């Protein structure tokens, strides 16, 4: 086997692309800082029971495990940073008011999410803790949209869902609660025959709730779906609040294209409790950004705080953009002449890229376009265009 081969769904990133990803990382972290978000950096590896607390089985399947040589306990290589940030808010910071945190780091998936996805992601995101109102969701979605716009994503489209609607229906009948996991899979797949079969097996299930579950797969499309939901779903307080929150959110963001899918309840790691969203755009086979509300994840760490946030993969974001442009650079000869060294230093301090050619060597560059050179003319070092 060739030593240079990488495992499946893992890839190197070459110079121009790597530079753009790094520039995106810096720009987005600065954006979040300008909104008052504080940067945290959780470890790549944690004890497995801490890493998976409150996150559900989906994340467990994506997490790579290993044995800690010091303690003998099982460790996990993180597959998602959100639970780690929840731990920091609940256990380490332990604040009483609103906390805004952002992060950026590598995550590893045991298996790719789909055939076109990588297993190694550079995940960046932002989270708001301590506010249960829809205002925090609006702020998070605004930042998610601004993130992709800063990257140059054309015409992003926002898809909204709310798993709380499905859970409110299930919670209204104990017979449904016993088959919740199977029902959620059928609803997410829009499998009405599967829903009917499960409800029939469950026994005496309220007929209006069965009708509601069968209605959910058809509640997708434009924002008018929310009005249809109010008319066709049971008048449960949790359902009415969920729909009104989504309407408020849409009204607060009038300049964006929205779609609604109330059966989209299976895209997260099973910890989402309120409004969930995904940002799509032409050029990406799947969502560019995912996020939503996940109240209570911090309960495993001693504090059940309201929380909402989003994350995206910078490598995936960059891959769908136009090829990364080359940066212009200046070529300079090698030498120890004080005047030459001073001229190069001044150019670099002014923000120029200066590449010194080593003696007897040519260079091959993927990231830079040499369009000027530093030459000695009339006893002075000066920049001239490359002919």
- Binding-site residues from annotation: 80-82, 123, 127
Q: What are phi and psi of 230, to 5 degrees?
A: -65, -35
Tell me how far apart the alpha carbons of residues 331 and 375 are, in angstroms, rounded to a whole number: 9
Extended strands (E) in the chain: 38-39, 45-47, 64-67, 74-77, 99-108, 120-129, 157-161, 220-221, 257-261, 276-280, 289-293, 307-313, 327-333, 354-357, 368-377, 380-385
Count the helices and strands in the chain (H runs, E runs): 14, 16
CB 177 within 8 A of CB 199: no
CA distances from 324 to 21, 143, 151 (A): 9, 24, 11
What is the distance between the alpha carbons of residues 26 and 313, in angstroms, rounded to a whole number? 14
Known binding site for L-histidine: residues? 80-82, 123, 127
């Amino acid at each position: 086997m060739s030593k240079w081969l990488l495992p499946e769904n893992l890839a190197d990133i070459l110079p121009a692309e790597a530079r753009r990803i790094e520039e995106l990382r810096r720009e987005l972290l600065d954006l979040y800082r300008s909104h008052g978000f504080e940067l945290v950096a959780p470890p790549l590896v944690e004890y497995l029971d801490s890493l998976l607390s409150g996150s559900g089985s989906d994340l467990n399947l994506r997490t790579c495990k290993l044995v800690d040589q010091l303690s003998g306990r099982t460790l996990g290589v993180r597959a998602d940073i959100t639970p780690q940030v929840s731990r920091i808010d609940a256990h380490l910071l332990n604040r009483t008011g609103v906390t805004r945190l952002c992060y950026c780091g590598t995550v590893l998936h045991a298996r790719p999410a789909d055939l076109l996805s990588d297993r190694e992601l550079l995940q960046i995101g932002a989270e708001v803790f301590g506010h249960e109102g829809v205002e925090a969701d609006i702020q998070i979605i605004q930042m998610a949209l601004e993130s992709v716009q800063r990257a140059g994503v054309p015409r992003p489209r926002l898809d909204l869902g709310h798993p709380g609607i499905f859970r409110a229906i299930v919670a209204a009948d104990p017979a449904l609660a016993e088959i919740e996991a199977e029902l959620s899979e059928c609803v997410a797949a829009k499998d009405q025959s599967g829903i009917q079969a499960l409800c029939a097996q469950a026994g005496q299930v309220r007929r209006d709730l069965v009708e509601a579950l069968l209605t959910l797969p058809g509640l997708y499309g434009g924002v008018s779906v929310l009005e249809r939901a109010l008319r066709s779903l049971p008048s449960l307080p949790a359902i009415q609040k969920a729909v009104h929150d989504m309407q408020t959110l849409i009204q607060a963001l009038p300049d964006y294209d929205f779609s609604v899918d109330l059966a989209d309840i299976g895209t997260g790691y099973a910890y989402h409790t309120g409004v969930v969203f995904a940002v799509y755009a032409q050029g990406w086979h799947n969502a560019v950004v995912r996020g939503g509300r996940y109240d209570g994840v911090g309960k495993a760490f001693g504090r059940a705080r309201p929380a909402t946030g989003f994350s995206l993969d910078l490598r995936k974001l960059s891959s769908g953009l136009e090829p990364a442009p080359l940066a212009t650079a200046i070529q300079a000869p090698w030498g120890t002449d004080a005047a030459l060294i001073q001229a190069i230093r001044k150019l670099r301090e002014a923000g120029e890229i200066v590449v010194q050619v080593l003696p007897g060597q040519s260079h091959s560059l993927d990231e830079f376009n040499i369009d000027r050179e530093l030459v000695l003319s009339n006893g002075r070092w000066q920049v001239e265009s490359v002919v």
